[in-house]
Amino acid sequence: MTTVQEYLKNSGVYEDLSKIISLVAEQAVPIRAAFISNQGYAGSVNASEEQQVAMDTWSDAHITRVLAKSGLVRAVASEEQDDITTFSTSARYSVVMDPLDGSSLIAVNLCVGTIGGIYDGDVLQPGKNLKAAFYILYGPVTTLTLSVGRGVAIFAMDADGVYQLQQDNVQIPEGNLYGSGGLRTEWLPKHTIFITDIETAGGKNRYSGSFVADFHQVLKYGGVYAYPPTKGLENGKLRLVFEANPIGFLAVQAGGAVSNGISSTLAIVPSNVHQKTPVYVGSRGMIEAIEKICST
């Protein structure tokens, strides 16, 4: 058995970076415990003008407090906070996070997650510069899917709250699952062609409304998760810094790809921490297919 701490040590990851990853991952225990008493809405909206549920604000405040207290973090940027908060310019690493992804599903008890990314230096860097990317999935088992730039590993939390390595060197197979956000009536023609092609080839539709949960299926079974540009929302819904980049980094590390339909989202230098991007992420063949359709 290999714990996440042993994995990080064996991977030669710098101590502060390892500590930050472990610290955030450990927060799965209090976050899970908080679900039962935080079922409603928070009564506020975030920078993306979305209604915040109680767990959005709870997990955001909780993780931010833990990171601030650690003394290890330079700055934090969160989907649920308007601005980047700098704790200490002498610290090396900055954290970006979607503290609770898929939060509209809490009320119906479906899988949700926490997404994180860590940069050396400041926050507004292209995703390809990530030093670590991960997500926690609050499923029947709590899992941590992690990359420190040496492939992807999945850990499962045991009864003692310790993450044990479940699968190393995860590779996305060339499968046929697909899930797409946005109403079909609002899709643009190129996206409709892409999805229709997949359906014609016998693709299986899997879409829950939680990026983390839906991507995790794609990671294991192969296929594509998409949140396309739609009529009136030409940059889609998902956030480049908090969602597309950490998940895209993991996909690439697993031999897959990520794209906005034209090229990799990991190359984009963010100008605004809350900026949106269309997202296509999953098996390499799927991403090649949408890029081919968009290039014509």
* Binding residues among 143-182 for ligand AHG as defined by CB under 6 A: 181
Can you name the residues that pair with 177 across neighbouring β-strands?
204, 223
Q: Which does 60 bind (CB under 5 to 8 A by kind): Mn ion, ligand AHG, none?
A: none
Size of the site for ligand AHG (CB under 6 A): 13
Report the residue from 101, 112, 114, 254 that binds Mn ion according to the rule CB under 5 A. 101
Calculate the alpha carbon distances from 75 to 67, 84, 118, 206 in Å. 9, 7, 10, 36
CB of 268 to Mn ion, least distance (A): 18
Q: Which is nearer to ligand AHG, 25 or 111 (CB)?
A: 111
State the Cα–Cα distance between residues 125 and 26, nearest whole angstrom.
26
Burial class of residue 190 (count of CB atoms within 10 Å of its CB; 0-12, 13-18, 19+): middle
Under 8 Å between Cβ of 55 and 38:
yes
Query: Which residue is associated with the tokens 């044990």?
Result: 164
Q: Which does 210 bind (CB under 5 to 8 A by kind): Mn ion, ligand AHG, none?
A: ligand AHG
- Return the amino acid letter for 250: L
The secondary structure of 202-236 as a DSSP string is T-EE---S-HHHHHHHHHHH-EEEEE--BTTBTT-
CB of 138 to ligand AHG, least distance (A): 13
* Binding residues among 179-198 for ligand AHG as defined by CB under 6 A: 181
CA angle 163, 166, 167 (to 5 degrees): 130
Q: Which does 197 bind (CB under 5 to 8 A by kind): Mn ion, ligand AHG, none?
A: none
Report the residue from 59, 67, 73, 101 that binds ligand AHG according to the rule CB under 6 A. 101
According to the binding rule CB under 6 A, does residue 81 interact with ligand AHG?
A: no
Which residue number is nearest to ligand AHG in terms of Cβ?
211
According to the binding rule CB under 6 A, does residue 103 interact with ligand AHG?
A: yes
According to the binding rule CB under 6 A, does residue 50 interact with ligand AHG?
A: yes
For residue 24, how far is the Cα from the chain centroid? 14
Q: Which does 57 bind (CB under 5 to 8 A by kind): Mn ion, ligand AHG, none?
A: none
Within 10 Å of residue 93's Cβ, how many Cβ atoms?
21
Give the footprint of Mn ion on this chain (CB under 5 A): 79, 98, 100-101, 243
Give the footprint of ligand AHG on this chain (CB under 6 A): 50, 79, 98, 101-104, 181, 209-211, 214, 237
